[in-house]
Amino acid sequence: MDTSHQTRILPVNATNLGKLVLKNDSDFILDDWQFEFNENEDVVNLKLAAGSLRDSDIPVAFPTETVYGLGADATRSNAVLGIYKAKQRPSDNPLICHFASLQQLRDLLRPISNECSAEQLEDPIPPIYKSVIQKFWPGPLTIILPNPKNSPLAPEVTAGLHTFGARMPRNLLALLVIKLANVPVAAPSANASTKPSPTAAEHVKNDLHGRIDYILDGGPCDVGVESTVVDGLSDPPAILRPGGVSIEQLRSCAGWEDVVVGYKDAAEASGVPRAPGMKYRHYSPAASVLLYESNAISPTLETPRKQEMSSIGIVRTRKWEPAFVENPTSGSPLKVWDINLGPNVEDIARGLFSALRELDKKQVDVIFVEGIADEEGDVAAAVMNRLRKAAEVNVT
């Protein structure tokens, strides 16, 4: 691995950039749009990152509302291969493409021809997605689309599939980077493969320093877990990865009343994954993770003492007491690092990956995590999905 790059963090305050300008004939806020930029250092940093993404084969990290993404021009193989190289990601794990507008997505889906029939000029986005796009885009929802014949997408994006995932992020910096680069942007999470997803610029630098040139710093992410991935091409429609949009929300949309769960919490052992995050172990810190399901009895310090561990980490949510700490007068010394994410599901989602990374910095031997009930909604299901993929032991 080439680690010769001088990775720079480029801070950008989104409130200083300028203003959004909609097209007069647009019937939807992101059918197409323009942006009137101010002249300041924030804009300079934004345009530097966008120019590098457009012209270089070295990917650029940028914030989205879910987690930080590692972006490259999705139409150039060398650029997309730069993502796999920087992350050390398996090449059979497909990438999600990010778009700045519906017009940009439609341009990719339409056949390239000088003589288009009336049928070809119709909206190329399958009708099943109309209701969910109107409700959840821009936002944490990825839709599975057929990859068109003679597609401009690099083959490395789809990892051999005849479909690809498309998303329009809600984060303004992400939208502007894609708009300025003027290409669809392939962007998985900006972490080293298998590690916890990054929700802050410093997380990206910890994993990828020396492997990329630029990290666009827009502050911490709002959601904290990746987008929900849905397949409307199947019958019935299916959720391939839980995330920021719940199954109840999807079922409120026309055509999605019977949407089903199409994912497993454990990594699938073989075959080409239908969507990112379905096949390999993900989200794992260096320490072993012991996940306690919501119905499990809370752990004690007896086991780590018997195994002569020097330090452990604890991630608490709902029921575990902060009294799960070491008594200095008992037995051999054991350092306990305790992180309380609180009972709120959204706070747990936002803080989960940061907590795992913080405990990794402490070089703990093992991390005990208090799980929550999947039945509380898809954000809770997304949290538990990530934790089950990270855990070496699942205690029920």
209 is in an annotated binding site: no
227 is in an annotated binding site: yes
- Write the DSSP string, 56-123: -SS-EEEE-SSSEEEEEETT-HHHHHHHHHHHT--TTS--EEE-S-HHHHHHHHS---SS--TTTTS-
101 is in an annotated binding site: no
203 is in an annotated binding site: no
Alpha-carbon torsion angle 289, 294, 300, 303, nearest 10: -40
89 is in an annotated binding site: yes
Do residues 103 and 31 touch, judged by C-beta distance below 8 A? yes
Rounded-to-integer distance, Cα 169 and Cα 10, Å: 20
Per DSSP, helices labelled H in the chain are: 41-55, 77-87, 102-109, 130-136, 155-158, 172-181, 201-208, 247-251, 302-306, 345-361, 378-390
User: Whose structure tokens read 């998303």?
Assistant: 167
Rounded-to-integer distance, Cα 175 and Cα 66, Å: 13
390 is in an annotated binding site: no
66 is in an annotated binding site: yes
Q: Which residues contact 190 (CB under 8 A, 6 or more apart)?
A: 61, 62, 67, 68, 69, 70, 198, 204, 207, 208, 215
98 is in an annotated binding site: yes
Tokens for 326?
């070491």
296 is in an annotated binding site: no
Cα–Cα distances (Å) from 56 to 1, 59, 73, in that order, read: 18, 7, 9
16 is in an annotated binding site: no
- Beta strand extents in 282-373 (DSSP E only): 288-292, 311-316, 335-340, 366-370
Pick out the residues of the known binding site for L-threonine: 66, 98, 167, 187, 227
Pick out the residues of the known binding site: 66, 89, 93, 98, 163, 167, 187, 189, 197, 227, 241, 283
Pick out the residues of the known binding site for ATP: 89, 93, 163, 189, 197, 241, 283
